């Protein structure tokens, strides 16, 4: 072919990008485009941290494309209309892109297929953001898995595709109009967090190398300690496709092979987390109703009777439960929250404050830089007891004993709650005596955990009955 389009979406990189690679070997000229959504204000599913990071990724991608003889064409508006316009302008014979697992992205892909038929343009979806996607991992009876462990065993057995490699040069038609890559003033809200990681493929690759060379062989011991920095911090990079999941997986397997049994266990624990990511993607693909309903049919339509006034105290980290408040302040200040404290904070909202998980799901989507529909919904439903969890609703984490196990010296709590810096850390491991405060200016606990726990058990039992 002479001219084709590569539509960048959640794949903002040149290395091992399936659709971009396919486009580059199929045509003389490739027009790489990103279409920014048309909205100027944020809605309940997005927010400034992610947009800020996206802008950085687009700037970096443009620089990387220029270095290989091309440049990023930026358009804004409805993706379908913009792609049609660009296809006509560049006389494109095909549009290449990597498939999205979420229902919104999939709906656009369906319409794009129809547009291709109407215009006589070939539409070329590729597999890229997951190693195994859609309905590739199935039970013996040909059904989608609803539980993680058998899914992961089947996932591991399937053959893996080789890497596509990196694009070294790209010829693109000249004279195609593009918007300026936006700076942060483009959106009406400034970013809320200061700690957003440096954006772009190069920065993501540096993070990946550092983790693979240093922390991965200790991941098994350190991954659950929120103060420890023992996790990879690659979630935003996987979210925006700055890294290839195939490459990361292959690199992990190489490390596992070269390690002793203990270190290999750590590396494979990390691989299991990458499989969780795909598990939730396939749940969203095969059960898209999870976006509005409980995944577990027994708990569909569950009523959460908590006081909505408590939502703001949870969001602002003022519940009087130090581990929960530290987590919520970490999120507010950095756009990130450690996985262990995501579970604690999410269980606290649902099983201590008895508020609907959808409130938390939406707030996380607005604030997390790595906010990703499938993992976020999966994490929230798992924590609420309505999701894909083999040990269901009666898994209720006690925030005080979680603190004792995972933040024993209070380092995480003290980092995020300045009011508590001078408090003896053992005091974070049990509720304070009635009426007593941990420190001046810090609230007393908003609920009694053991009373709240019994209410939760009754709520679920009533649903089951
Ligand atoms: C309530 C809740 C909401 C969550 N929302 C998101 C979200 O919006 N986006 C997101 O990427 N992750 C989400 N997670 C999963 C997990 O918390 C983050 O992926 C992880 O904290 C990111 O940090 P990391 O890259 O250092 O993780 P690491 O421990 O280094 O893990 C490596 C990678 O594996 C994947 N991963 C790890 N744990 C999980 C998991 N439980 N589920 C799915 N994928 C996982 C991520 O891509 C992560 O980058 C959520 C978890 C919970 C409990």
Q: Are residues 114 and 44 part of one domain?
A: yes
Cβ of residue 172 lying under 6 Å from some atom of ligand 1: no
Please report, for residues 18, 128, 238, 244, 246, the alpha-carbon distance to residue 162 in angstroms, rounded to integers and kept in the order given: 10, 12, 18, 12, 8
35: enclosing H helix or E strand: strand 29-36
**pLDDT score of 44:** 75
| Cα–Cα distances in angstroms (integers) from residue 244 to residues 53, 192, 212, in the given order | 18, 28, 14
Q: Which of 261, 286, 311 is the last residue of a domain?
A: 286
274 lines ligand 1 (CB under 6 A): yes
| Cα–Cα distance, 427 to 218 (Å, whole number) | 29
Q: What are phi and psi of 74, to 5 degrees?
A: -110, 130
> Does residue 47 belong to any structural domain of this protein?
yes
CATH number of the domain encompassing residue 377? 1.10.579.10
Q: How many residues are listed for the chain in this entry? A: 465
Catalytic (active site) residue 17: no
* Alpha carbon nearest to ligand 1 atom 22, residue: 235
**Within-domain flag for 182:** no
User: What is the extent of the structural domain holding 70?
Assistant: 3-128
Residue of minimum CA distance from atom 48 in ligand 1: 235
302 within a domain of the structure (yes/no)? yes
Same domain, 82 and 40: yes
* Ligand 1 site, residue 376, Cβ cutoff 6 A: yes
Asked if 339 and 417 sit in the same domain, the reply is yes
Pairing between strand 3-8 and 73-76? unpaired
Range 220-226 average pLDDT: 97
**pLDDT tens, 382-400?**
999 999 877 767 789 999 9
Are the C-beta atoms of residues 345 and 368 closer than 8 Å to each other?
no
> What's the rounded Cα separation, in Å, for the pair 74 and 8?
10
pLDDT score for 38: 74
Shared domain check, 267 and 149: yes
96 and 225 assigned to the same domain? no
What is the pLDDT averaged over residues 52-75?
96
Domain membership of residue 172 (yes or no) is no
Residue at which a domain ends, from 128, 144, 174 = 128
pLDDT at 209 over 80: yes
Smallest Cα–Cα separation from 334: which of 161, 430, 196, 201?
A: 196
Q: What is the pLDDT of residues 240-265, one digit of tens each?
A: 999 999 999 999 999 999 999 999 99
Q: SS3 of 281, please?
A: helix
Distance 272 CA to ligand 1 centre (A): 11
Is 304 tagged catalytic?
yes
Indicate the angle between helix axes 148-157 and 261-286, nearest 10 degrees: 110
Q: State residue 35 phi and psi, 5-degree precision.
A: -110, 115
- The residues, any chain, with a CB within 8 Å of residue 332's CB and separated by 6 or more, are 192, 193, 315, 316, 317, 367
Domain end call among 286, 308, 326:
286
In angstroms, the Cα distances linking 451 to 230, 346, 407, 457, 458 are 34, 18, 24, 10, 11
Same domain (yes/no): 109, 64: yes
Clarify whether residues 142 and 93 are in a common domain.
no
CATH number, position 227: 1.25.40.80
Model pTM score = 0.97
For the ranges 38-47, 85-94, 192-201, which has the lowest average pLDDT? Answer: 38-47
Residues 359 and 339 in one domain: yes
Q: For the chain, what is the domain count? A: 3
Q: Is the CB of 283 under 6 A from ligand 1?
A: no
């Amino acid at each position: 072919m002479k001219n084709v389009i590569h539509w960048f979406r959640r794949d903002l990189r040149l290395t091992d990008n399936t659709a971009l690679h396919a486009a580059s070997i199929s045509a003389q000229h490739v027009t790489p485009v990103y279409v920014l959504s048309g909205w100027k204000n944020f809605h309940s599913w997005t927010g400034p941290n992610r947009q800020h990071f996206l802008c950085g990724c687009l700037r970096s991608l443009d620089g990387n494309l220029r270095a290989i003889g091309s440049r990023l064409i930026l358009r804004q508006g409805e993706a379908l209309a913009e792609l049609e316009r660009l296809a006509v302008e560049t006389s494109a014979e095909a549009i290449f892109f990597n498939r999205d697992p979420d229902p919104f992205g999939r709906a656009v892909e369906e319409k794009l297929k129809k547009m291709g038929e109407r215009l006589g343009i070939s539409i070329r979806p590729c597999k890229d953001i997951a190693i195994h996607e859609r309905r590739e991992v199935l039970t013996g009876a040909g059904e989608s898995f609803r539980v993680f462990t058998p899914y992961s065993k089947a996932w591991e057995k399937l053959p893996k595709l080789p890497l596509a490699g990196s694009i070294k040069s790209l010829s693109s038609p000249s004279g195609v109009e593009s918007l300026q890559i936006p700076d942060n003033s483009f959106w009406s809200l400034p970013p809320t967090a200061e700690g957003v990681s440096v954006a772009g493929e190069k920065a993501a690759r540096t993070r990946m190398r550092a983790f693979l060379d240093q922390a991965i062989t200790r991941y098994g011991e350190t991954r659950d300690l929120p103060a420890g920095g023992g996790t990879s911090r690659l979630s935003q990079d996987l979210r925006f496709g700055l890294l290839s999941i195939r490459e990361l997986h292959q690199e992990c397997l190489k490390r596992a092979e070269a390690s002793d049994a203990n270190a290999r266990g750590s590396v494979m624990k990390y691989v299991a987390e990458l499989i969780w990511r795909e598990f939730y993607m396939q749940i969203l693909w095969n059960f898209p109703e999870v976006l509005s309903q409980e995944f577990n049919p027994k708990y569909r339509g569950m009523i959460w009777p908590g006081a909505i006034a408590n939502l703001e105290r949870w969001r602002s980290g003022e519940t009087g439960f130090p581990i929960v408040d530290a987590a919520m302040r970490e999120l507010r200040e950095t756009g990130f929250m450690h996985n262990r404290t995501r579970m604690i904070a999410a269980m606290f909202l649902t099983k201590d404050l008895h508020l609907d998980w959808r409130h938390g799901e939406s707030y996380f989507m607005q604030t997390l830089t790595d906010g990703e529909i499938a993992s976020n919904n999966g994490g929230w439903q798992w924590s609420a007891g309505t999701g894909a969890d083999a040990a269901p609703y009666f898994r209720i984490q006690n925030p005080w004993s979680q603190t004792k196990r995972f933040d024993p010296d209070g380092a995480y709590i003290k980092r995020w709650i300045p009011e508590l810096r001078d408090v003896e850390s053992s005091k974070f491991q049990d509720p304070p005596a009635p009426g007593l405060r941990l420190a001046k200016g810090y609230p007393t606990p908003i609920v009694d955990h053991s009373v709240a726990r019994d209410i939760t058990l009754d709520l679920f039992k009533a649903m089951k009955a």
